[in-house]
Amino acid sequence: MMHVLLCILVWTINCLADHNSPLDHALKFHCETSDCTTDTSDTISSNIEFRLEGSGFHRRLHYSLELTCLDEKVHRPPLSLAIIQPLPAAIYANIYELDSAFLAGGGPEVRLFGEVDVESIEKFAQPTALAIYSTATEAATAKEGNAVRGSCGAVNVSIPLHGRYPRAAQGANKSEPVCWNELLKGILVDIKLPAPTVLMQSAAAKQWSRAKHNEQLQTESLVWSLPAGDMRLQTLTSAITAAVLCASAALVVHSIFFSRTDQISSSFNKKRRV
């Protein structure tokens, strides 16, 4: 009976839980509409490039963003920007590190949506979203010596990100032969970092508005390769570990046996001399 009541309680909690993604929470926090689309969304567009630098579990994510304002009366500098970056469970931002950098003047202001356990692996972690705030510069961006028409600002900002130990690759069918080159390929797992959403707020406006992206950005994502291992190595690792343990035990028994034998032999020789 208690088991049934517990199952009903868990089911009820799960039904009442908020299943919105961290990105949905971030957009809802900034905007009145769910997708942050307003009447002025079509009057501003963004051309953004983002890239990862470094290797391993600790890297930096760089953003280079150019804004084009089609109606300068609506969007007059300074323009406030919020770059909403979704983060999968295998990648996280250390909010304490980012807040400390902001207070010291070495990084942008940020806001985290979702919970982060910096010591957790991907299996027990949840995806999050990070809002990165900045102000677009008033200087028009120049290309080949000519100012871009309608350019109303540019932003360059970067943040540190960290990777978790991801889920190990499951590998191929167990009946298939295991090749070393396949195992080595399985050691790295590619984690996709989705494209960000750019929100804009002008000095005259009181609400955030989604900026249109170039079409290429809609499907663009970065790939972060993290070491994970391969589940097919489990049997091999277990066999090697067992062999090492057996060899160590045999060596200990061998040492004890011969040490005891030497003691008995020495004692016997002493008795014969007496």
β-strand 128-136 against 109-113: which pairing, if any?
A: antiparallel
Tokens representing residue 177 in the block = 């032969």
Of residues 206 and 215, more confidence is placed in 206
pLDDT tens by residue, 134-146: 988 754 444 444 4
Tokens representing residue 47 in the block = 């051309």
Residue 208's pLDDT band (cuts 50, 70, 90): confident
| 200: pLDDT strictly greater than 70 | yes
pLDDT tens by residue, 55-102: 889 999 999 888 777 666 556 667 888 999 999 999 999 999 999 999
In this predicted structure, what is the pLDDT of residue 248? 87
Distances (CA, A) of 144 to 42, 70, 85, 147, 148: 27, 21, 31, 8, 10
Residue 47's pLDDT band (cuts 50, 70, 90): confident
* Phi, psi dihedrals of residue 124, rounded to the nearest 5°: -110, 10
| C-alpha–C-alpha distance, residues 146 and 45, integer Å | 19
Write down the H helix ranges in the chain: 2-16, 22-30, 95-103, 180-186, 215-219, 233-273
CB 155 within 8 A of CB 136: yes
Of residues 244 and 42, more confidence is placed in 244
Tokens representing residue 116 in the block = 């982060």
DSSP 232: T
In this predicted structure, what is the pLDDT of residue 15? 46
Predicted TM-score of the model (pTM):
0.68
DSSP 193: E
β-strand 79-87 against 188-193: which pairing, if any?
A: unpaired
Vertex 220 angle, CA 33 and 167, to 5°: 95
Spell 18-40 as b/e; 16+ CB within 10 A means b: eeebbbeebbeebbeeeebebeb
Instruction: Show me where the domains of the chain are located.
Output: 18-165+190-225
Q: What is the CATH number of domain 18-165+190-225?
A: 2.60.40
